[in-house]
């Protein structure tokens, strides 16, 4: 019999919807030891949070997250709020003995992230960070191939995350939806928002990053601030590129921007190994491109694997072979793995300590760009 697990979600934006959708669907497709009960949604605006709760089926609402944490009927807290609130909420949630599912990036910076790690480890509460792209079946398959040694020694890791939604100088910074442009709320720009995903996947697939050299640019230096109504300096990075050495000796090249006209969410990565290479593209997320030099010469070429068969990661739980799934399913998979891990008493990755590694790389990037020098990534 599956046990109820009572969830309280904080925040009702894009991620509030993605996570709620996952909670609602997960037990229809996966056989799990527990099932999420949508107990409470929490946000400051009572009317908006009530509308969200009604739409997604939350039983109650709160307008103060501290009240939510005091509730005895809540087992797990889902943090879907801007980055500058993650630490305070997560540390208090750990002290209140709640399990925590926290949006990415873990924190505003490494030192803040470390406090969060220490809080969950001291309280011994299950915890996870929503780096959802690990659980796109084609990306999980890439991990399987790398771990099986199919690529052999890895030489290169290349990743991009390109968007184009902030090119207009009229776009304000701050407030609902646009807090990602406000450094006080976000901590950084594309580095923490987009490269964080690329780094999480890279560390997962190819191990830790040892040293790096980065550059950032803020193309639009001033924007009106939604909260103050005044034109204010923009503190986020609009674009960031870095190259690096991984701990395994391979070289990495990463680029992210919100100024690549024509690209909406072009997350791509490519890994080149001694025997084989793989490529993945979020715009075509169910495909994994694979080239194996060991194939017979006349047949050698890039294979485009349609990752939709029953023996592909997660796919046996969905439709029949050949029918694809999408972006939202990566969140369903994360909840499924989290509940499965809870049942077995096992930590599921990326937990706070694991996501802290990404945070340290983000700090090194910003430091390198600011000081125009190669930077060692601190070991967590």
Map residue 149 onto helix, strand or coil. Answer: coil
How far is the CA of 36 from the CAs of 4, 101, 138, in angstroms?
Answer: 6, 13, 26
Q: Please identify, using beta-carbon distances, which residue of 18 and 38 lies nearer to ligand SOE.
A: 18
Angle between helices 86-95 and 110-123 (to 10 degrees): 10
Closest CA to 37 of 6, 16, 62, 58: 6
| CB 99 to ligand SOE: min, Å | 22
* Other CB atoms within 10 Å distance of the CB of residue 86: 26
Residues contacting 145, CB < 8 A, separation 6+: 151, 276, 278, 290
Say whether residue 200 binds ligand SOE (CB under 6 A): no
The rounded distance, in Å, linking the Cα atoms of 351 and 341 is 12
Site for ligand SOE in 44-63 (CB under 6 A): none
Residues 222, 231 contacting (CB under 8 angstroms): yes
The rounded distance, in Å, linking the Cα atoms of 93 and 278 is 40
The rounded distance, in Å, linking the Cα atoms of 36 and 76 is 9
Task: Read off φ and ψ for residue 314, nearest 5 degrees.
Answer: 70, -20
Site for ligand SOE in 219-248 (CB under 6 A): none
Mask 104-143, x = binds ligand SOE (CB under 6 A)?
----------------------------------------
Among 62, 112, 182, 193, binds ligand SOE (CB under 6 A): 193
Site for ligand SOE in 142-181 (CB under 6 A): 163
Residues contacting 345, CB < 8 A, separation 6+: none
| CB 202 to ligand SOE: min, Å | 15
Among 167, 184, 253, 265, binds ligand SOE (CB under 6 A): 265
| CB 261 to ligand SOE: min, Å | 15
Q: Please identify, using beta-carbon distances, which residue of 39 and 333 lies nearer to ligand SOE.
A: 333
Instruction: Tell me the site size for ligand SOE, rule CB under 6 A.
Output: 4
Residues contacting 213, CB < 8 A, separation 6+: 242, 243, 244, 368, 373, 374, 375
Residues contacting 363, CB < 8 A, separation 6+: 109, 110, 378
Report the relative pairing of strands 276-281 and 287-292 from DSSP bridges.
antiparallel
Q: Please identify, using beta-carbon distances, which residue of 105 and 273 lies nearer to ligand SOE.
A: 105
Nearest residue to ligand SOE, using CB? 193
The rounded distance, in Å, linking the Cα atoms of 114 and 14 is 26
Q: Please identify, using beta-carbon distances, which residue of 38 and 80 lies nearer to ligand SOE.
A: 80
Site for ligand SOE in 275-294 (CB under 6 A): none
Q: Which two tokens stand for residue 27?
A: 């037990």
Q: Please identify, using beta-carbon distances, which residue of 33 and 172 lies nearer to ligand SOE.
A: 172
Where along the sequence are the contacts to ligand SOE (CB under 6 A)? 163, 193, 197, 265
């Amino acid at each position: 019999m599956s046990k109820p697990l009572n969830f309280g979600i904080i925040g009702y934006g894009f991620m509030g919807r993605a996570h709620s959708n996952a909670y609602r669907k997960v037990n229809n497709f996966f056989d799990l030891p527990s099932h999420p009960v949508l107990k409470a949604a929490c946000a400051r605006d009572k009317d908006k949070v009530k509308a969200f709760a009604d739409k997604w089926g939350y039983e109650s609402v709160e307008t103060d997250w501290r009240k939510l944490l005091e509730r005895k009927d809540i087992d797990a807290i889902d943090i879907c709020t801007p980055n500058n609130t993650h630490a305070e909420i997560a540390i208090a949630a750990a002290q209140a003995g709640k399990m925590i599912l926290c949006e990415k990036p873990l924190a505003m910076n490494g030192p803040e992230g470390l406090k969060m790690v220490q809080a969950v480890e001291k309280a011994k509460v299950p915890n996870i960070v929503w780096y959802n792209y690990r659980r796109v079946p084609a990306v999980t398959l890439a991990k399987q191939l790398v771990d099986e040694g199919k690529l052999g020694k890895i030489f290169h890791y290349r990743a991009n995350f390109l968007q184009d939604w902030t090119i207009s100088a009229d776009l304000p910074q701050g407030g609902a939806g646009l807090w990602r442009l406000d450094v006080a709320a976000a901590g950084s720009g594309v580095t923490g928002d987009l490269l964080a995903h690329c780094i999480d996947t890279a560390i997962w697939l190819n191990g830790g990053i040892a040293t790096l050299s980065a550059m950032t640019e803020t193309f639009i230096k001033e924007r009106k601030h939604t909260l103050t109504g005044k034109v204010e300096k923009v503190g986020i990075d609009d674009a960031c590129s870095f190259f690096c050495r991984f701990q395994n000796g391979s070289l990495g090249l990463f680029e992210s921007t919100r100024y690549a006209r024509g690209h909406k969410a072009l997350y791509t990565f490519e890994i080149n190994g001694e025997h084989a290479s793989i490529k993945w593209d979020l715009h075509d997320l169910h495909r994994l491109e694979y080239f194996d030099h060991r194939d017979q010469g006349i047949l050698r070429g890039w294979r485009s694997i349609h990752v939709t068969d029953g023996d592909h990661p997660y796919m046996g739980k969905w439709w029949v072979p050949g029918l694809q799934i999408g972006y939202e399913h990566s969140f369903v998979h994360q909840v499924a793995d989290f509940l499965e891990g809870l049942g077995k008493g096992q930590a599921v990755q990326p937990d706070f300590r694991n996501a802290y590694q990404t945070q340290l790389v983000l700090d090194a990037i910003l430091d390198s760009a600011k000081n125009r020098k190669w930077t060692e990534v601190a070991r967590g």
